[in-house]
């Protein structure tokens, strides 16, 4: 595969920046944080472009960088919350309720908060499957997790989401 | 078609985002081959300088050695007698 250059990079930006934004937004919730992570993702992609050998498709490669960036952000967010003695529920409330760029109805608000309470792996597979409607095979390529494990994670995540949404309703 | 999850973005956000992202190559110039190897070259240069300095110090502090012929030549040309040499050797045994 020929080496990618600036023109190829701009094609990736045109083709995938919006989809990638929503991928990250579903994972981290806040618009401001998503904006930062999208930029970090493309900066990393640009720096890694010379070593991109085309073993996976450019979209899989970008999704992998973005997912790793989002997960790294979530880990830091959890550490910061722990240092402030803030619970996961309180973080979810803060991120979703304080985001001026969330205008969903009550059901969507409950769903967003429930997703926030999922463990990282379950959150990733749930968002990619439910919102992005990606196949398990594609998710497997991005995350490096087996299809079987992804199916199990999605099942557990869905059950948890149902319980959490139900709990909020009561 | 994206599933509506309640999230939205400011008007014209994606156009602005694309412009911002397209400027990344200009801001983050990829390092040239020389820049990539510069740290290794600097390390090699430091090593070479250390070797040169070490060599210089050793040359300055080491007593110069002379061959047997040079010593004999020196002794012949000097006023030292054979008896004096014998005395010196006996006293140092």
What are the tens digits of pLDDT across the range A86-145? 887 788 788 888 888 998 888 888 899 899 889 999 999 999 999 999 999 999 999 999
Q: What is the pLDDT of residues B11-41, one digit of tens each?
A: 999 999 999 999 999 887 766 777 778 888 8
Q: Are A165 and A110 in contact (CB under 8 A)?
A: yes
> Does A104 contact B6 at a Cβ distance shorter than 8 Å?
yes
Q: How far is CA A152 from CA A111, A115, A117, A158, B87, in A?
A: 20, 16, 18, 10, 99
Distance of residue B56 Cα from the nearest chain A Cα, in angstroms: 44
Q: Is the complex ipTM higher than 0.95? A: no
* pLDDT(B81) > 90: no
Distance of residue A5 Cα from the nearest chain B Cα, in angstroms: 9
C-alpha angle with apex B85: B79 to B90, nearest 5 degrees? 160
Q: Over pLDDT 90: what percentage of chain A?
A: 60
C-alpha angle with apex A55: A9 to A40, nearest 5 degrees? 40
Domain positions in chain A are: 6-169
- How many residues make up chain B in this entry? 93
CATH 1.20.210.10 for domain A6-169: no
């Amino acid at each position: 595969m020929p080496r990618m250059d600036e023109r190829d990079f701009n094609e990736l930006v045109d083709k995938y920046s919006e989809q990638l934004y929503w991928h990250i937004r579903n994972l981290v919730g806040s618009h401001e944080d998503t904006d930062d992570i999208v930029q970090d993702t493309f900066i990393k992609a640009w720096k890694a472009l010379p070593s991109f050998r085309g073993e996976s498709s450019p979209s899989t490669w970008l999704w992998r960088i973005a997912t790793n960036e989002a997960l790294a952000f979530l880990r830091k967010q959890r550490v910061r919350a722990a240092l402030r003695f803030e619970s996961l529920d309180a973080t979810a409330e803060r991120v979703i309720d304080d985001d001026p760029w969330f205008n969903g109805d009550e059901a969507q608000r409950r769903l967003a908060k429930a997703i926030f309470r999922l463990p990282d792996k379950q959150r990733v597979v749930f968002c990619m499957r439910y919102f992005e409607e990606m196949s398990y095979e594609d998710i497997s390529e991005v995350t490096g997790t087996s299809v079987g494990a992804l199916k199990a994670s999605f099942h557990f995540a869905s059950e948890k989401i149902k319980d959490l949404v139900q709990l909020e309703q009561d | 078609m994206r599933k509506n999850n309640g999230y939205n973005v400011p008007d014209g956000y994606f156009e602005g985002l694309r412009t911002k992202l397209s400027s990344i190559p200009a801001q983050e110039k990829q390092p040239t081959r020389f820049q990539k190897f510069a740290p290794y070259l600097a390390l090699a240069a430091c090593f070479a300088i250390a070797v040169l300095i070490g060599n210089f110090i050793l040359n300055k502090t080491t007593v110069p050695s002379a061959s047997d012929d040079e010593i004999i030549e020196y002794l012949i040309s000097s006023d030292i007698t054979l008896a004096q040499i014998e005395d010196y050797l006996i006293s140092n045994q």
